[in-house]
Amino acid sequence: MGRLRFRFRYGGARIPLRFALCAALAAAVAAWACAVSQLQPVLSRLAVARASNTVNRIVARAVNEAVENGAISYGQLISFEKDNDGRIAAVHSNMAVCNRLQAEILDIILTRIEEVPARDLSIPVGTLSGSPLLAGRGPRISVRMESAGSSSARFGNTFTSAGINQTRHEIVLYIDVSVAILLPGFTTATKVSNAVTVAETVIVGAVPESYTYFSTNPADGYDDQKDYVLNG
């Protein structure tokens, strides 16, 4: 028995079924590529927003876990120097602990970013239309996220008045995370910054004369000791 061959007619000529299917597939791919190209600005904004929200959640969870399990505490990071009358004369930071903690927390954050499933970041095609009726519907466009090498974490300090003869000292962890966002046909990038207060105390009495720390900013060098006069 001979093999069956299916052919279509176009303009009086017969076209094999295989060729017709290939042509239809190529047309569909071309149409899809054109649509993605036209919607690239919208797609880029949505992808950046999703990636930024995901990074913010990862940072918040990592820092909260470190605070809750006792890895970060005021007593570990800060020590006081008192004068002969028992008054706080200076505040010093424990840079060995600070350097270790900021490296550990940043490593946890970057590891978790690499583990985010593409499904969590993917964007439904209907969402790109801007129509509330189509939001969340249709096939999903794959979005992947990768951490970049310029990410950093560092501790900072703020001193504010907390009442008569009282000063609030807050230790803030500044985290900057740079990510590359991979989309079909192009790549974009964003930088997500967070400032999280991880410890604080109220210093009762005269404002300490100085606050001494070793810079946690790699650009300054880890051996850069600085003294700040706090009371003018």
Is 118 within a domain?
Answer: yes
What is the Cα–Cα distance from 19 to 193, expressed in whole angstroms? 53
Is 188's pLDDT higher than 70?
yes
Give the C-alpha distances (Å, rounded to integers) separating 60 from 54, 55, 105, 168: 10, 9, 11, 23
Query: pLDDT band at residue 229, thresholds of 50, 70 and 90?
Result: very low
Into how many domains does the chain fold? Answer: 1
Is 11 within a domain?
Answer: no
pLDDT of residue 110: 93
147-159 pLDDT per residue, tens: 887 889 999 888 8
Higher pLDDT: 59 or 37? It is 59
What is the Cα–Cα distance from 171 to 173, expressed in whole angstroms? 7
Quote the pTM value: 0.71
Residue 106, domain extent: 17-229
Is 7 within a domain?
Answer: no
Q: Which alpha helices (DSSP H) does the chain contain, by range?
A: 17-38, 40-68, 74-77, 95-114, 118-121, 125-128
Helix (H, G, I), strand (E, B) or coil at 198: strand
Is 9 within a domain?
Answer: no
Q: Is 90 exposed, middle or buried (0-12, 13-18, 19+ CB in 10 A)?
A: middle
Is 89's pLDDT higher than 50?
yes
Is 59 within a domain?
Answer: yes
Is 127 within a domain?
Answer: yes
50-78 pLDDT per residue, tens: 999 999 999 999 999 999 888 888 888 88
Query: pLDDT band at residue 164, thresholds of 50, 70 and 90?
Result: confident
Average predicted confidence (pLDDT) for the chain:
76
Is 23 within a domain?
Answer: yes
What is the Cα–Cα distance from 64 to 199, expressed in whole angstroms? 11
Is 133 within a domain?
Answer: yes
What is the Cα–Cα distance from 28 to 16, expressed in whole angstroms? 19
